[in-house]
Amino acid sequence: MSRWFRRHLEMIVLVTSASLLAGGGLAWWAGLSGAARSAWIAGALLGLAFALAATVDAARHRRPTVDVIAVLALAGALWVDEPLAGAIITLMLATGQVLEARADARARRELSLLTARAPRTARRVTPGGIVDVSVDDVGVGERLLVRPGEVVPVDGRVVSASTFDEAALTGEPMPVARPAGDDVRSGVVNVGAPVEIVTTTTASTSTYAALVRLVEQAQASSAPFVRAADRWAIAFVPLTLVLACVAWWAAGDPVRAVAVLVVATPCPLLLAAPIAIVSGLSRAARMGVVIKGGGALERLARARVVVFDKTGTLTRGRPTLTDVLVREATADEALRLAASLEQVSAHVLAGPIVEAARARGLALELPEAAEEIHGQGVAGTVDGRRVRVGRPSWIVGERPDAWTRQVRRRADLDGSMSALVELDGRVAAALLLHDPIRPDAPRMVRALRAVGVSRIVLATGDRDDVAAMVGRIVAVDAVLAECTPADKLAALEREAAHGSTVMVGDGINDAPALAAADVGVALAARGSTASSEAADVVLTVDRVDALADAMLIARRSRRIALQAVAVGMGLSLVAMIAAALGYLSPTAGAALQEAIDLLAIAIALRAVVPTRMHSIVLSPEDRATLASLRVEHDSLAPLVESVASVADALTSARPDLGDARALVASLESDLLPHERADEERLVPVVARALGSTEAVAALSRTHAEIEHQVARVRRLLDTVDGGATAEDVVELRRMLYGLYAVLKLHNAQEDEGAFSLVPVGSA
């Protein structure tokens, strides 16, 4: 009961003070002056106790506060027999406290996910067999067994090669193969076969335990939100007290001093500012951005430096099939057989492979005799053919041939992951998967700069070359690669020299940095994680460009709050001077203060009025147009990739141009009509959305360039109809590679500038 009372104290005081004030008014109207006086005195005493408690609490924490003015005003009103003025002041104070409590209600920063995920037991390998022991009893140099799907309990060294999901520590979605003798950290998940490790630390000194401590320390170092009123108190309280004393001394009448204190009660600070902040919180929530309290909103408004994690924030956070390299089968057939087999696999790459096959309209079959080798791949029979899909080292062994080495080299250059497809004992194709950059990420970075962010940093656990590529595309100011959670904390400390910091991430490994930054922003569209627990701002929509709009809302709300405070306190100062000169009684001053409060609130309510955001609002017709064109756009991805495949297959030794002729025919019948439809339908939609035809000039230019390049290839093929020379093959290959580069760049432009305006899956 006492806990419930403390949690709802402000609301109880508000309801009680309103009831006493209204009850006293009704009693006075009914001619019961004694009852009215008693009700108003009770209201004033309630406010005095409430304000006095707040003042004592502020003094105990050595925090300046304007509540001392309320204490003096309430005590003075009772002293000079002005109980109605005291009852009005109590209502103002209670209303301000309730609004402030609502605005500053912070979501609890729990470590529930981190602690629940931490292993409690370990499997010790002994001469007598496997023994389950408490993880706290594990010492250095012991042998532990980690089964598939289990979390590594303490840091150690793997006895045999295995594969681990290290996303909890690095944030990277790709499984990592660890050879025998390599170090493995606690907190990662074994996604391969059962593996033994030799421990190198104890549980208390392991990586995962350190991660939990980092979050705890970072949370403890986060300063609490200080009310706007408190920052004005240092100058406002002495001014009020001096003016009240001067009025008393000059007139010899304590009533004037009380009147000064009454009109000085800083309700514009206690009411207007929280209302503007709550309005900002509400507007952000409607956009899918949950800001955990007024303190977080205010700090977001002051932010000047934004530090991004890569995976899941600037990239999708989930692998996507980008290319099918064929050797002894067609791309569609290899993908169909591989995806049919992957339907029964729980591997992280299985889902994207199946999705890609279905997106191409391929008919999948259920495999027979399927068997998954953890961390290696899956084997089975599909349509009577023996199929294996998995790691190159599992398919071809430790001695890859030239074609497999070329696949690996291409994957390394692109920062991709490769899986080989074996059909009836022969390598037939390779699947390349990549974590793509979010199409809305570059626009989000530009929008952040437009709202006043002066520095943007990418801090990721990924390789330096991959991080640098992402940083170039989204145009950040600095790139920090191969970062551990501790490295991200150190980066935030360095970046704090440039201004207030914002950390954006979505993984457990980002939780310490999210808690340590001035504002932590978590992406939780795919589910709640420890990052959302540690964050101040949570994006519940799968769009990072919502962050720029949230920052715009925060800055506007803070600006309006300051305007409301400035107007309200300015008028209060004028009223204080009038009261000091004897023109206002305490009751009249309290009524005037209410009018000033209403004006300040009206100014604060401007924060509710919608303004233009960076996010584009499309009409239902335009959304439907973009959605239909996007379906066509995505369906043409295999045709675009076949341009490079055909060019790769061209050889001057056997100048067979049949595949090139078929390719050009498909480009003319499928691709060019789509590009013309884009020019006629997509370009006007984007121009309307962005408010400028100049913004789509690059799209129109590349539409024309694509048609021009296809026409050039067609003319070349027509001129060599009688037979191609080696020089013709070289020229054709050069033209196809050039066309492929134009198509890839154009598709990226459309993804970023057009199709990112509509979230994936919306219509």
**Run of H or E residues at 501:** strand 501-505
pLDDT above 70 (res 724): yes
**CA distances (Å), 447 to each of 105, 460, 541, 744, in order?**
28, 22, 17, 25
The residue out of 197, 218, 239 marking a domain boundary is 218
Instruction: For residues 426 and 527, state if they share a domain.
Output: no
Query: Residue 307 sits in a domain of what CATH number?
Result: 3.40.50.1000
The string of pLDDT tens digits covering residues 736-746 is 999 999 998 88
Give percent above pLDDT 90 in the chain: 7
Catalytic annotation on 510? no
- Look at 222-226, 278-282, 345-349, 374-378 and tell me which has the smallest mean pLDDT: 222-226
| Residue 345, CB-side half-sphere exposure with 13 Å CA sphere | 29
Give the residue-averaged pLDDT of 718-733.
81
Q: What is the pLDDT of residue 709?
A: 92
Model confidence at 6, in pLDDT bands (50, 70, 90)?
low
**Run of H or E residues at 404:** helix 402-414
Strand order from edge to edge, sheet including 368-373: 320-326, 426-434, 417-423, 385-390, 377-382, 368-373
Instruction: For residues 560 and 579, state if they share a domain.
Output: yes
Give the whole-angstrom CA distance, residue 226 versus residue 229.
8
**Which residues lie below 8 Å from residue 422, measured CB to CB, with a gap of 6+?**
387, 388, 389, 395, 428
The residue out of 540, 566, 593 marking a domain boundary is 540
Q: What is the pLDDT of residue 213?
A: 59
Structural contact between residues 28 and 36, judged by C-beta atoms closer than 8 angstroms: yes
Structural contact between residues 522 and 506, judged by C-beta atoms closer than 8 angstroms: yes
Instruction: For residues 429 and 441, state if they share a domain.
Output: no
Residue 617 Cα to chain centre, angstroms? 20
Could you give the 3-state DSSP secondary structure of residue 8? coil
Give the whole-angstrom CA distance, residue 522 versus residue 534.
8
Give the residue-averaged pLDDT of 637-651.
83
Q: What is the pLDDT of residue 222?
A: 39
DSSP 581: T
**Which residues lie below 8 Å from residue 436, measured CB to CB, with a gap of 6+?**
315, 316, 320, 322
The string of pLDDT tens digits covering residues 162-209 is 888 776 665 556 677 777 667 788 878 888 888 888 888 888 777 667
Q: What is the pLDDT of residue 669?
A: 92
Q: Which tokens go with 253?
A: 């009448």
Q: What is the pLDDT of residue 102?
A: 59
Helices 254-264 and 546-580: crossing angle, nearest 10°?
Answer: 170
**CA distances (Å), 197 to each of 138, 158, 256, in order?**
12, 4, 81
Instruction: For residues 392 and 327, state if they share a domain.
Output: yes
Beta pairing partners, 437: 315
Structural contact between residues 431 and 335, judged by C-beta atoms closer than 8 angstroms: yes
> 453 in a domain, yes or no?
yes
Q: What is the pLDDT of residue 318?
A: 76
Residue 258 Cα to chain centre, angstroms? 51
Tell me which residue has tokens 């910091």.
Answer: 501
CB atoms inside a 10 Å sphere around CB 734: 11
* Pair type for strands 162-165 and 320-326: unpaired
The string of pLDDT tens digits covering residues 669-693 is 999 999 998 888 888 888 887 777 7
Instruction: For residues 95 and 49, state if they share a domain.
Output: yes
Burial of 342 (0-12, 13-18, 19+ CB in 10 A): buried
Q: What is the pLDDT of residue 407?
A: 85
Could you give the 3-state DSSP secondary structure of residue 215? helix
Model confidence at 526, in pLDDT bands (50, 70, 90)?
low
Instruction: For residues 43 and 156, state if they share a domain.
Output: no
Give the whole-angstrom CA distance, residue 76 versus residue 162.
77
Range of the domain at 74: 2-106+225-278+556-608
| Amino acid occupying residue 509 | N
Q: What is the pLDDT of residue 660?
A: 87
- Mean pLDDT score of the chain, rounded to an integer? 79
Annotate 151-173 with DSSP letters as a single string: BP-S-EEESS-EEEE-HHHH---
Tell me which residue has tokens 């309280």.
Answer: 237
Structural contact between residues 390 and 338, judged by C-beta atoms closer than 8 angstroms: no
> 283 in a domain, yes or no?
no
The string of pLDDT tens digits covering residues 445-500 is 888 898 889 999 999 888 888 888 889 988 899 999 888 888 888 889 899 899 89
Structural contact between residues 152 and 206, judged by C-beta atoms closer than 8 angstroms: no
pLDDT above 50 (res 110): no
Give the residue-averaged pLDDT of 307-330.
83
- Look at 53-67, 453-467, 642-656, 714-728 and tell me which has the smallest mean pLDDT: 53-67
Best CA proximity match to 228, nearest among 560, 501, 565: 565
> 613 in a domain, yes or no?
no
Give the whole-angstrom CA distance, residue 51 versus residue 147.
60
> 175 in a domain, yes or no?
yes
Instruction: For residues 669 and 527, state if they share a domain.
Output: no
> 545 in a domain, yes or no?
no
Q: What is the pLDDT of residue 55?
A: 72
CB atoms inside a 10 Å sphere around CB 470: 24
Query: 237-274 burial, b for 16+ CB within 10 Å, e for fewer?
Result: beebbebbeebbeeeeeebbbbbbbbbbbbbbbbbbbb
Annotate 412-440 with DSSP letters as a single string: HHHT-EEEEEEETTEEEEEEEEE-PBPTT
Instruction: For residues 460 and 495, state if they share a domain.
Output: yes
Total domains in the chain come to 5
Instruction: For residues 173 and 201, state if they share a domain.
Output: yes
Which residue out of 67, 104, 309, 440 is catalytically annotated?
309
Instruction: For residues 741 and 628, state if they share a domain.
Output: yes
Give the whole-angstrom CA distance, residue 546 versus residue 436.
19
Give the residue-averaged pLDDT of 407-420.
83
> 615 in a domain, yes or no?
no
Give the whole-angstrom CA distance, residue 43 versus residue 19.
9
Instruction: For residues 624 and 735, state if they share a domain.
Output: yes
pLDDT above 70 (res 134): yes
The string of pLDDT tens digits covering residues 546-562 is 888 889 888 888 888 88
Give the residue-averaged pLDDT of 240-257.
80
> 183 in a domain, yes or no?
yes
The residue out of 408, 434, 460 marking a domain boundary is 434
Could you give the 3-state DSSP secondary structure of residue 364? coil
pLDDT above 70 (res 231): no
Model confidence at 710, in pLDDT bands (50, 70, 90)?
very high
Q: What is the pLDDT of residue 234?
A: 59
Structural contact between residues 569 and 597, judged by C-beta atoms closer than 8 angstroms: no
Instruction: For residues 402 and 461, state if they share a domain.
Output: no
Q: Based on C-alpha coordinates, what's the Rg of the chain?
A: 34
Give the whole-angstrom CA distance, residue 675 versus residue 711.
14
